[in-house]
Amino acid sequence: MTISEKSAYLKGLMDGLKLDTEANEGKMIAAIVDLLGDVTRRLADVEETTIAISDELDEIEEDLDAIEDYILDEDEDEDDDEDDDDDYYDFSEADDEDFDEGFDFGDPETTIYEVECACGNIIDFDEDTLEEGSIICPNCGETLEFSLEDEDEDEEQ
């Protein structure tokens, strides 16, 4: 028996019992049965929406699979022709300058520092954070403190 059928059965049972809906108990039972009817209708709407969304997602998944198959087929065709192409780049013979070319590593003026927390997490940070004097490990929550005193003394000498 579905929820809708159970709700209808309770409504029919209440009507069949000829409860006095003017008495307090009858009012309460009638309100409960009405509430169950409303919840049942809402639940049915949610189920319909869920089924519609699921169907749409299935269609999207099929479309993505078709796109993936198309791209992979195209990549396989390119791989076959790649050996003859002049565009092929052998990374094993690359020197550092050629390798860095074309990659954006951020602002070359920005120095990135690295510190290892006691928990083993490695944290990267910039000069602004270094000047603040501390950083909180996102892994364990421990505050790591550092100072610029040694660096300032080296600059004065």
Mind giving me the DSSP string for 122-153? EEEE-HHHHHHTEEE-TTT-PEEE--SHHHHH
pLDDT tens readout for residues 48-105: 999 999 999 999 999 999 999 999 887 776 666 555 555 555 555 545 444 444 444 5
Q: Are residues 68 and 13 in the same domain?
A: yes
In a domain, 98, yes or no: no
Query: Integer distance in angstroms from the first to the last C-alpha of the chain?
Result: 88
Q: Are residues 9 and 63 in the same domain?
A: yes
Q: Give residue 116's pLDDT band: very low, low, confident or very high (50, 70, 90).
A: confident
Q: Which residues contact 139 (CB under 8 A, 6 or more apart)?
A: 117, 119, 121
Expressed as residue numbers, the domain containing 119 is 106-156
Q: Are residues 47 and 110 in the same domain?
A: no
Q: Give residue 47's pLDDT band: very low, low, confident or very high (50, 70, 90).
A: very high
Least confident interval from 32-41, 101-110, 128-137: 101-110
Query: How confident is the model over 147-152, as a mean pLDDT?
Result: 63
pLDDT at 20: 83
DSSP the chain: --HHHHHHHHHHHHHHHT--TTSHHHHHHHHHHHHHHHHHHHHHHHHHHHHHHHHHHHHHHHHHHHHHHHHHHHHHHHHHHHTT-TT---GGG--HHHHHTT---S-TT---EEEE-TTS-EEEE-HHHHHHTEEE-TTT-PEEE--SHHHHHHHH-
Number of domains within the chain: 2
Q: Are residues 72 and 125 in the same domain?
A: no
In a domain, 97, yes or no: no
Query: How confident is the model over 129-150, as a mean pLDDT?
Result: 83
Q: Are residues 72 and 116 in the same domain?
A: no
Q: Give residue 40's pLDDT band: very low, low, confident or very high (50, 70, 90).
A: very high
In a domain, 139, yes or no: yes
Most confident stretch, 89-98, 104-113, 120-129, 135-144:
135-144
In a domain, 110, yes or no: yes
Q: Are residues 33 and 73 in the same domain?
A: yes
By percentage, how much of the chain surpasses pLDDT 70? 73
In a domain, 124, yes or no: yes
Compute how many other C-beta atoms are within 10 angstroms of the C-beta atom of residue 13: 12
Query: How confident is the model over 125-138, as a mean pLDDT?
Result: 84
In a domain, 90, yes or no: no
Q: Are residues 72 and 128 in the same domain?
A: no
